[in-house]
Structure 1
Amino acid sequence: MFMKRGALEELEENISRVYNVKKKIQEKGCHCLINISGHLSGSSMSFTGPSMGSVAGTARRAFEFGQTYVVKPKGKHQATIVWLHGLGDNGSRSVIRVAQTCLNLSEIGAIELQGDIGIFTPEIRVVGFEGQYAISKLDWSNLLETLPLPNIKWICPTAPQRPITLFGGFPSTAWFDVNDLSENAIDDDEGLDASAAYVASLLATEPPHIKLGVGGFSMGAATSLYSATCFVRGKYENGNQYPVNLSLAVGLSGWLPWAKTLSSKLEGVEGAVSRATSLPILLCHGKGDDVVPYKFGDKSSQKLRSCGFQDVTFKSYTALGHYTIPEEMDEICAWLTSKLGLEGKS
Structure 2
Amino acid sequence: MAYLPCVEIEPDQTANRSVIWLHGLGADGNDFTPIVPLLKAPAGAHVRFVFPHAPQLPVTINGGMRMPAWYDILSMSIERQVDSEQLRASARAVGDLIRREIERGVKEEHIIVAGFSQGGAVAYEAALSHPQRLAGLLALSTYLATHDSIQLSTANRQLPILIQHGSQDPVVPEALGQLAYNWLSDAGYQAEYQSFPMQHQVCQEQLVAINKWLQEVLA
TM interval, short-chain normalised: 0.7 to 0.9
Q: Which residue of 2 aligns with 1:322?
A: 200
State yes or no: 1:176 paired with 2:71.
yes
Contact in 2 for aligned 1:161/1:172 (Cα 8 Å)? yes
Deviations 1:47-102 (A, max 9, x none): xxxxx946xxxxxxxxxx4x41001123563310110111001100x2xxxxxxxx
Q: Which residue in 2 is equivalent to 1:275? A: 156
Counterpart in the other structure of 1:288: 168
Task: Specify the alignment match of 1:254 in structure 2.
Answer: 142
1:195/1:84 Cα in 2 relative to 1: closer, same or farther (>3 Å)?
A: same
C-alpha distance in 2, partners of 1:193/1:281?
Answer: 20
CA displacement, residues 150-181 of structure 1 (integer Å, 9 cap, x when unaligned): 62211001000001122232111101111123
Distance 1:262 1:281, change over 3 A: farther
Deviation of residue 228 (structure 1)? 2.0
**Structure 2 residue 127 is the aligned partner of structure 1 residue 228:** yes
Q: 1:90 aligns with which of 15, 22, 28?
A: 28
Aligned residues: 212
**Matching of residues 42-53 of structure 1 within 5 Å:** 53=2
Correspondence 1:69-148 to 2 at 5 A:
69-75=7-13, 77-92=15-30, 94=31, 140-148=32-40
Q: What is residue 307 of structure 1 aligned with on the other side?
A: 187
Counterpart of 2:19 in 1: which secondary structure? strand
Q: Which runs of 5+ in 2 are unaligned?
A: none
Identity %: 30
Q: Work out whether residues 70 and 155 of structure 1, in 8 Å CA contact, stay in contact via their aligned partners in 2.
A: yes
**CA RMSD between the two structures:** 2.2
Higher-Rg member (1/2): 1
Letter in 2 for 1:275: N
Q: Deviations over 1:115-136 (max 9, x none)?
A: xxxxxxxxxxxxxxxxxxxxxx
Q: Secondary structure at the match of 1:300?
A: helix
Gaps of at least 5 residues in structure 1 are: 1-51, 55-64, 95-139, 235-243, 342-346
Q: Quick one: structure 1 residues 182 and 246, their matched pair in 2 at CA, closer, same or farther if it must change by over 3 Å?
A: farther
TM-score after normalising by structure 1: 0.57
The CA distance in 1 between the partners of 2:205 and 2:13, in whole Å, is 24
1:334 equivalenced with 2:215 (yes/no):
no
Amino acid at match of 2:160: P
Q: Distance in 1 between matches of 2:67 and 2:97?
A: 22
Contact 2:136 2:161 (C-alpha < 8 Å) held by counterparts? yes
Normalised to the residue count of structure 2, the TM-score between the two structures is 0.88
SS of 1:254's partner is coil
Shift of 1:303: 0.6
Q: Structure 1 residues 223, 88: closer, same or farther in 2, change over 3 A?
A: same
Determine the structure 2 residue equivalent to 1:203: 98
Which string of whole-angstrom CA distances, capped at 9 and with x for unpartnered residues, describes residues 279-314 of structure 1? 1110000101111111111111111111121x2010
Letter paired with 1:322: H
Kept after mapping to 2: 8 A contact 1:187/1:258: no
Q: State the Cα deviation string for residues 14-43 of structure 1 (Å, max 9, x = none).
A: xxxxxxxxxxxxxxxxxxxxxxxxxxxxxx
Do 2:98 and 2:111's aligned partners in 1 also have CA atoms closer than 8 Å? yes
Q: Shift of the alpha carbon at 1:320?
A: 0.9
Q: Which residue of 2 aligns with 1:153?
A: 48
SS at match of 2:139: strand
Distance in 1, Cα, partners of 2:134 & 2:83: 23
